[in-house]
Amino acid sequence: MKNKEIRAEVITIGDELLIGQLLDTNTFWMSAELSKVGIEVIRKSTVGDNEADILQLFAEAEDRADIILITGGLGPTSDDLTKPCLQKYFNCGEVFHPEVMEHLEDLFASRSRELNESNRRQAYLPTACEAIFNKVGTAPGMWFEKADKVFISLPGVPYEMKQMMEDSVIPSLIQKYQPVPRSYRFLLTAGAHESMLSDKLAEIEPQLPPYFHLAYLPHLGRVDLRIGVELGENKENRLKELDHWTNKIYDSIEQHVFAREKISLEACLAKLLEARKLKLSVAESCSGGYIAHRFTSIAGSSVYFKGGLTPYSNDLKVKILGVDAKLIEKKGAVSEEVAIAMVKGVQSLMESDVAIATTGIAGPSGATDTKPVGLVYIAVAVGEKVYTKELKLTKKRSLNIELSATAAINLLRIKILDHKDLKTNKKIEHYSENKFEALD
């Protein structure tokens, strides 16, 4: 019962995308958002800062698609051609937008910067378009209509593009094209590979009705499952079906699921910490401050995040965390024993209820005959209990940092959930056991 497909083409403009200087993550995000609301992306195209190529692509895209979404090439410099090309394509003049100029002046004032001539040019837009407000940046977006097709131009700066997509572009597109609405459920997993999950769902997947869309969205050390259904007429029944199948899928992979909503692993642990009034501290050797960064990136994290220490040199492990120097000598800094000493050290130093510690060989150097690159020990403290895990990761430093942080955050999350019977102690006297029970 669905009306005709709404076809979109996503266009990115910029030489830097054609010479491997800039990795395009915008169209990845945009495609996901568009497919989520039932708009089918049929083509993604990238061209350089070349007028003829850009104009040719606009014409092709107009033949193929209903919606032409363009990012990039809106900067104030001479090699940014998107605006002049659109003006040429729509064969129109340009007009001054006082509201844009006002915004530019406010923005620059708030950053105590001077507006220069090329900045002021950004307040002039083709007469054929409506301006799309860019509240977090300088370049406004543009919305052109031609018969039943639209051309939309957005800045290439990811956070500006995302804000404008969410605030105005997606809602306007839904209003204009009324795509068959879809509804989604999410099952977010950690610690399982995509193939492992698909094996566990081998029986269920073929049974899914044709109006269901199951997608595996892999991230480092994590896989999100997105279960979507086309709603159409009988919305109520479809939503019931969606919950039915989501639960069936959940049952087959339960032990890997950490959330049933779109949320980061650290934000999920953060909720748990807030609910249980637990304070967290971290001591990071191999993850080098990355776990602290992931928590402090969450707004309001000061409520539960007391602090973090990155004791990169061993003498700081001894001096600040009170790790026994002889222990480091005997077992090596990368050992389960040192991980335990670090987690206890930071927990008492920062007077936190729970704590995380990591130590490992991130690589490429630092390996020994017995300890290869990628060997990592994580330790988590919950009250007076400590749990550890040995990880054998990759040869790649950045991967080892990312994966060890994710594994450590997930281990603490699991151990807190297990701790129905955590005994109140001096460090955590500010709540009582029944507060726990209430939450399980």
369-388 positions binding a copy of itself, by CB under 8 A: 374
Nearer to a copy of itself, 136 or 180 (CB): 136
Q: Judged by CB under 8 A, which of 227, 249, 350, 378 binds a copy of itself? A: 350
Stretch that binds a copy of itself, among 83-91, 196-204, 267-275, 376-384 (CB under 8 A): 196-204
Helices (H), 155-234: 158-164, 170-177, 194-200
CB atoms near residue 91 (< 10 Å): 8
Stretch that binds a copy of itself, among 31-39, 232-240, 269-277, 335-343 (CB under 8 A): 31-39
Which class for 370: exposed (0-12), middle (13-18), buried (19 or more C-beta within 10 A)? exposed
CB of 112 to a copy of itself, least distance (A): 6
CA–CA distance from 428 to each of 73, 422, 425, 434, 435 (Å)? 54, 10, 5, 14, 12
Nearer to a copy of itself, 254 or 351 (CB): 351
Q: What is d(CA 149, CA 176) in angstroms, rounded to the nearest whole number?
A: 10
- Binding map of a copy of itself across residues 203-222, x = CB under 8 A, - = no contact: --x-------xxxxxx----
Contact (CB, 8 A) for 153 and 74:
yes
Stretch that binds a copy of itself, among 27-35, 82-90, 414-422, 432-440 (CB under 8 A): 27-35
Size of the site for a copy of itself (CB under 8 A): 105
Residues 126-185 that bind a copy of itself (CB under 8 A): 136, 157, 159
Nearer to a copy of itself, 74 or 128 (CB): 74
| Identity of the residue numbered 275 | A
CB atoms near residue 378 (< 10 Å): 28
Residues 32-91 that bind a copy of itself (CB under 8 A): 32-33, 35, 40-48, 50, 53, 57, 60, 75-79
Residues 248-277 that bind a copy of itself (CB under 8 A): none
Nearer to a copy of itself, 55 or 92 (CB): 55
Nearer to a copy of itself, 231 or 350 (CB): 350
Q: What is d(CA 40, CA 59) in angstroms, rounded to the nearest whole number?
A: 19
Q: What is d(CA 307, CA 417) in angstroms, rounded to the nearest whole number?
A: 22
Q: What is d(CA 238, CA 222) in angstroms, rounded to the nearest whole number?
A: 28
